Amino acid sequence: MPDLDILKPKSVSEATGFLRDLGDGVKVLAGGTAVVLLCHMGLLRPRYLLSLGEIPGLDYIRFEPGVGLRIGAMTTHRAVERSPLVRERCPLLAQAFHAVANVRVRNQATVGGVMAEADYASDPPCALAALDAQVVAHSPRGTRTIPVTGFVTGFYETALMPDEIVSEILVPDRGGGARGAYVKFVTRSSEDRPCVAVAALIEERDGICERLGVAVGAVAATPQRFVHVEQLAHGERLSAGLVREVAKQYAGAIDPIDDLRGSAWYRKQVIEVLVRRTIEAAGAVP
C-alpha cells in the first residue's frame, strides 16, 4: 500500500481534529483486528491511519453508583471479560465479551472498536443493546451520548459522524437486582461466528418481572430489540408460557438474513428457541 501515514494523536481532541481536517482518507485504528485485516486484504486503502493507541486515559473500567459501569473505548475485550468489577456488576457483559472469537483477538480488540465496526455478528453490541447501554462520542463540536439501541444503523454503519470517535461505553446501574445471560449459537465449528445470539436481562422483585431486556444478534444488520414485546413481561410472573410467547413474538418480528451459517428460515426457528432458553438461563442465575 503506497503512501500510508500513521497519525498518533496524544489526546481525544487531537484525534477528532484530524478527523475533521483530513476527511475521507482517514481510518480510525483502535485495536486493529478489523482494520488491519481489511487493509491487508486490500479492501481498505486509507491514506491515513489514526491510531488511538497513544491517547492516555481511554483504557479503564469504573463503576459509579447510580450511574453505572463506565468503560473506556480502548479497553480490550479481555480486560472486560476478566474484570472482577464487570463480573460482579454485570456478568452478562463479561459473558458477551468472552464469547468473541478467541483469546488473541480479545486481547487486541477494543470496546470502542467493536461498536464502531458495527459487525452484525458481533457479540458485544447485542448484549449492550439489551442492557440499554450508551455510547459516548467525542467530536470537535463536543460530546454526545447515543443509546446503543440506535447506534448501529446498518451493516457496518453507525450513527457516528465522520468527525466523531467513541470514547466510552456506559452501562446503566441496575441496582444489583438484574440477572442476565448471553447465549451464542453456532452451526459449524465452535470458533464460528454466531448464527443467532441472544442477550437477556431480567429484573425481578418478589417474583414479579419489573423489566425484561432481550436483544437478538447475528440475524440482521442491527441487534434486534422489541420493547413492546418485552413489555408483555413487565409486572407479570415470568411463567413458561409467557416466556414462550415472548420468544414466539421475537421470532415473528424479525426478518433474518441468509448467510453461510444459516438460512433466514432456520434463523427464525432458532430465534424462537434461543430467546426462550436465554431468558430461562437468565432467570436461573442465582
The single residue among 191, 205, 241, 286 that binds another protein, judged by CB under 8 A, is 191
Contact status: 206 vs another protein (CB under 8 A): no
Residue 84 binding another protein, by CB under 8 A = no
Considering the complex, state which of residue 67 and residue 103 has its C-beta at the smaller distance from another protein. 103
Please report whether residue 273 would count as binding another protein according to CB under 8 A.
yes
What are the phi and psi torsion angles at 186 (to 5°)?
A: -110, 155
Q: Is 56 in the site for another protein (CB under 8 A)?
A: no
Sign of CA dihedral 264, 265, 271, 277: negative
Span near another protein by CB under 8 A; candidates 27-35, 140-148, 166-174, 249-257? 27-35
Q: Does 241 bind another protein (CB under 8 A)?
A: no
Give the type of residue at 150. G
* 39 binds another protein, rule: CB under 8 A: yes
Does residue 22 bind another protein (CB under 8 A)?
no
Residue 33 as a binder of another protein (CB under 8 A): the answer is: yes
Is 78 a residue that touches another protein (CB under 8 A)? yes
CB nearer another protein, residue 111 or residue 209: 111
Exposed / middle / buried, residue 217 (Cβ in 10 Å: 0-12, 13-18, 19+): buried
Q: Residues touching another protein: how many (CB under 8 A)?
A: 41
Residue among 102 and 176 whose Cβ is closer to another protein: 102
Cell numbers for 106: 480479545
Quick one: which segment of 4-12, 61-69, 83-91, 160-168 binds another protein (CB under 8 A)?
4-12
Chain-centroid distance of CA 194 in Å reads 14
Q: What are phi and psi of 205, to 5 degrees?
A: -135, 125
According to CB under 8 A, which one of 40, 141, 234, 237 is a site residue for another protein?
40
Regarding 266 and contact with another protein (CB under 8 A), the answer is yes
User: Is 77 a binder of another protein (CB under 8 A)?
Assistant: no
Q: Nearer Cβ to another protein, position 145 or 239?
A: 239
End-to-end CA distance of the chain: give it in Å, rounded: 53
| Contact call for residue 11 and another protein (CB under 8 A) | no
CB 68 to another protein: min, Å: 27
Scanning 13-21, 29-37, 111-119, 242-250 for contacts with another protein by CB under 8 A, the matching segment is: 29-37
Does 29 engage in binding with another protein (CB under 8 A)?
Answer: yes
**Under the rule (CB under 8 A), what is the footprint of another protein?**
1, 3-6, 29, 32-33, 36-37, 39-41, 49, 51, 53, 78, 101-105, 107-108, 185, 187-193, 195, 260, 262-263, 266, 269-270, 273-274
